[in-house]
Amino acid sequence: MTKRALITGITGQDGSYLAEHLLSQGYQVWGLIRGQANPRKSRVSRLVSELSFVDGDLMDQGSLVSAVDTVQPDEVYNLGAISFVPMSWQQAELVTEVNGMGVLRVLEAIRMVSGLNSSRTAGSGQIRFYQASSSEMFGKAAETPQRETTLFHPRSPYGAAKAYGHFITRNYRESFGMYAVSGMLFNHESPRRGSEFVTRKISLAVARIKLGLQDKLHLGNLDAVRDWGFAGDYVRAMHLMLQPDEPDDYVVGSGSMHSVRDAVRIAFEHVGLDWQDYVVIDPELVRPAEVEILCADSEHARTKLGWKPSVDFPELMHMMVDADLNQVSREHEYGDLLLASNW
């Protein structure tokens, strides 16, 4: 029988890669779309033509019940979130509602449609649930690398809301026997990454500078260290996590560390430029509380799921710069006609 998947956050970076991956595995895929004329819907449908859509919003319980009831999925992937960390200091309550309470609402929708309660635990035909948890939950971690047992010390309202989503996912597994899994994913990027995130901000700026369309690149903390991987590799891990007989939580990352300064250097070097001639430090871009260093110990995912990444960090930065050189030069040549994107 063809499996059916429902993805929230379908218009985001991971949503499109996951949809492509699941379709390649023979799934039927539905994406949850919010808003009455979401401009990103046409972008994702251009990219992934076999997608179906269902309306709903993580702020609206009824719409989620209706979406799950309509799709009758085998697997639900909750990727929807306000994912830009700085926004979580400006709109802390909204971010908590979407990224924290939104998880509870999806779990409740699954529980209601499946007819689960504490005395009737799930059976074999149950809906499997994936929660997009984040390395931001580790924050100022007491140990490096971080693994499944590392204590959380979130440094932003975003990280705190994700920690709630993580624990409520685990709680529904323990309370109702739900097949609910939390993937603690470290930073993953691609040419489809939003331009507000640092790797894409860098790759776009390098392309524009190389083509003579921009002079400087303004950045915040160059010393922050992250474990960056390629989004296409990480969506494979999401799918793998829902396949074992028993649900579990997994850390997913490359295990290698690079600073923002490394990212800038690698990207500028790729087009034959010296980053120090172009980068300007802007104190306004430094965060109220920074996560200084993150690095994944993905041993559990590697051994139990057989997952491993295929793209290393320099390859990732080169891929993004090349894609942006292509995009920016096309936009420059054709003006607003093409306007958009690696999508």
Q: Where are the beta strands (DSSP E) in the chain?
A: 4-8, 28-33, 52-55, 75-78, 128-134, 179-185, 188-189, 217-219, 225-226, 229-230, 250-252, 258-259, 279-281
End-to-end, the C-alpha distance of the chain in Å comes to 31
**Contacts (CB under 6 A) with ligand NDP, residues 259-288:** none
Q: Counting contacts by CB under 6 A, is residue 83 touching ligand GDR?
A: yes
CA 262 to chain CA centroid, nearest Å: 22
The tokens for 140 are: 């100022």
Least distance to ligand NDP, CB of residue 80, Å: 3
Pattern of binders to ligand NDP over 67-106, x per CB under 6 A? ------------xxxxx--------------x--------
* C-alpha pair distances (Å), 179 with each of 72, 169, 248: 15, 9, 9
Look up 20 and say whether it is catalytic: no
Look up 331 and say whether it is catalytic: no
Contact (Cβ atoms closer than 8 angstroms) between residue 113 and residue 68: yes
Q: Counting contacts by CB under 6 A, is residue 224 touching ligand NDP?
A: no
Look up 63 and say whether it is catalytic: no
Q: Could you tell me which stretch among 20-28, 145-153, 187-195, 258-266 binds ligand NDP (CB under 6 A)?
A: 187-195
Question: Which among 27, 77, 130, 158 is annotated as catalytic?
Answer: 158
Calpha distance 8→45 (Å, rounded): 15
The amino acid at 337: L
Query: With contacts defined by CB under 6 A, how many residues of the chain interact with ligand NDP?
Result: 28
**Contacts (CB under 6 A) with ligand GDR, residues 270-299:** 285, 287, 290-291
Least distance to ligand NDP, CB of residue 335, Å: 25
Q: Cα-atom radius of gyration of the chain, to the nearest Å?
A: 20
Cβ closer to ligand GDR: 61 or 203? 203
**Contacts (CB under 6 A) with ligand NDP, residues 201-220:** none
User: Under the rule (CB under 6 A), what is the footprint of ligand GDR?
Assistant: 83, 85, 134-136, 186-187, 196-198, 201, 219-221, 224, 226, 260, 285, 287, 290-291
